[in-house]
């Protein structure tokens, strides 16, 4: 039975992660069409980022685990798989890989539920895995996190509509981990390797990293930048725990409890980071608020972003979408905008255009909301 459960590790996370990625992309496009009448971004940028970034991280972490001879008990591997699948199923509420820190708690289950070896033999290996996963998440969110966001409009408390944004970026981490060869005796065809007196096999352990969050007072990129720093800090602290347990294996049980507590604190810090920001992204009388920018359009080439407020267009002050469109149509081959960023900074953006139709500039405003 144990051998069958071990082989089942290969499938659930990969299937759940793939289906979730396709589902949320379809959901995003359907929601954009329902609200704005068009799909803002049909590219597969975030899908490729998740696949390639996760693959790179998986290769590096797998090499470290195999090179250091990290062996994890079967219950721990199953806990990592189960927690990942559960996190995907609950991703509508949010997703962050802080939950990996909870896998070590299986060491404290009564033996009749799932017997597991003493933490002194494997705690350092789990701590190393979580450390590398959190550091990989920090790097991926910082350097490979395309801004493919889902805008949603809703009534504000003072009458003006506000925009909220969701970011769903996953990285599939296809890990290869060594397990003692005696765990898989029923699979005669499975290759068994050796190093000195140790016999082991290599199995797949796919995990998911990334972020699934919603923001109101900032763009998701600002929140994920904070997440990247949080995962960097947590990864370094977890690395310290790893070093302690390598030096003193008998401290494994205490380190596992500390890791679980660190994971919960990290999850709370992730949640708090999504609540940051000084102002709502709402309709305003100062100018025309941009809700979204379509990629590969004049607006994206000018550096416009969701949350920007267009103050003037072709030197004409604008307060409504009608005034903005009229100013743009007055000079159909040229566009010069004065824009205020979400943080209050003012800058000028300009470009040559070949058609004065405002929607072809790639700016999506509150006016584009469908009745």
Residues 268 and 294 grouped into a single domain: no
CA dihedral for 168, 13, 83, 55, sign (positive or negative): negative
Domain of residue 346, residue span: 288-368
Q: How far apart are CA 286 and CA 341, in angstroms?
A: 12
Least confident of 134-148, 153-167, 207-221: 153-167
Q: Which of 44-48, 256-260, 336-340, 358-362 has the highest mean pLDDT?
A: 256-260
Least confident of 73-77, 155-159, 257-261, 321-325: 155-159
**Residues 45-73: pLDDT tens digits?**
888 898 899 999 999 999 999 888 888 88
Residues 131 and 196 grouped into a single domain: yes
Residues 257 and 307 grouped into a single domain: no
- Domains held by the chain: number: 2
Q: How far apart are CA 255 and CA 225, in angstroms?
A: 28
Alpha-carbon distances of 90 from 46, 85, 95, 208, 235, rounded to whole Å: 20, 9, 8, 13, 24
Whether residue 109 lies inside any domain: the answer is yes
Average pLDDT value over all residues in the chain: 84
CB atoms within 10 A of CB 49: 20
The answer to whether residue 177 scores a pLDDT higher than 50 is yes
- End residue of a domain, out of 211, 244, 274: 274
Least confident of 119-128, 198-207, 217-226, 343-352: 198-207
Whether residue 281 lies inside any domain: the answer is no
More confident residue, 158 or 213: 213
Residues 125 and 250 grouped into a single domain: yes
- End residue of a domain, out of 240, 274, 308: 274
Q: What is the pLDDT of residue 110?
A: 80
CA 120 and chain centroid, separation: 33
The answer to whether residue 355 scores a pLDDT higher than 80 is no
Q: How far apart are CA 80 and CA 13, in angstroms?
A: 10
Q: What is the pLDDT of residue 1?
A: 39
Alpha-carbon distances of 363 from 243, 246, 321, rounded to whole Å: 51, 55, 11
Whether residue 282 lies inside any domain: the answer is no
Q: How far apart are CA 240 and CA 247, in angstroms?
A: 11
Q: Which residues contact 261 (CB under 8 A, 6 or more apart)?
A: none
Q: What is the pLDDT of residue 3?
A: 42
Whether residue 187 lies inside any domain: the answer is yes
**Residues 358-370: pLDDT tens digits?**
457 888 888 765 4
The answer to whether residue 267 scores a pLDDT higher than 90 is yes
């Amino acid at each position: 039975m144990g051998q069958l459960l071990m082989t089942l590790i290969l499938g659930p996370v990969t299937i759940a992660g793939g289906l979730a990625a396709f589902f949320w992309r379809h959901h995003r496009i359907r929601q954009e069409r329902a609200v704005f009448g068009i799909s803002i971004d049909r590219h597969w940028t975030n899908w490729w980022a998740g696949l390639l970034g996760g693959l790179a991280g998986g290769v590096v972490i797998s090499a470290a685990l195999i090179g250091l001879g990290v062996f994890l008990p079967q219950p721990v591997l199953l806990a990592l798989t189960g927690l990942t699948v559960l996190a995907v199923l609950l991703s509508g509420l949010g997703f962050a890989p802080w939950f990996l820190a909870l896998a070590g708690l299986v060491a404290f289950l009564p033996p009749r539920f799932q017997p597991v070896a003493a933490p002194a033999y494997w705690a350092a290996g789990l701590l190393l895995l979580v450390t590398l996963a959190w550091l990989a998440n920090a790097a991926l969110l910082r350097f490979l996190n395309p801004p493919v966001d889902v805008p949603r409009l809703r009534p504000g408390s003072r009458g003006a509509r506000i925009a909220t944004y969701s970011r769903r970026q996953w990285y599939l981490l296809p890990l290869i981990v060594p397990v003692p060869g005696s765990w898989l005796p029923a699979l005669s065809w499975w290759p068994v390797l050796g190093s000195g007196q140790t016999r082991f096999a290599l199995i797949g352990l796919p995990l998911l990293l990334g972020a699934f969050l919603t923001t109101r007072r900032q763009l998701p990129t600002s929140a994920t930048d904070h997440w990247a720093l949080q995962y960097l800090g947590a990864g370094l602290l977890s690395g310290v725990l790893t070093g302690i347990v390598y030096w003193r294996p008998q401290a494994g049980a205490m380190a596992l409890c500390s890791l679980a507590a660190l994971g919960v604190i990290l999850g709370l810090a992730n949640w708090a980071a999504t609540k940051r920001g000084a102002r709502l992204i709402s309709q305003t009388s100062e100018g025309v608020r941009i809700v979204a920018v379509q990629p590969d359009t004049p607006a994206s080439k000018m550096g416009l972003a969701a949350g920007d407020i267009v103050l003037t267009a072709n030197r004409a002050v604008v307060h409504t979408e009608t005034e903005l469109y009229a100013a743009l149509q007055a000079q159909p081959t040229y566009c010069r905008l004065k824009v205020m960023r979400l943080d209050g900074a003012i800058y000028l953006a300009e470009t040559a255009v070949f058609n004065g139709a405002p929607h072809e500039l790639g700016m999506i405003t509150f006016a584009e909301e469908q009745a």
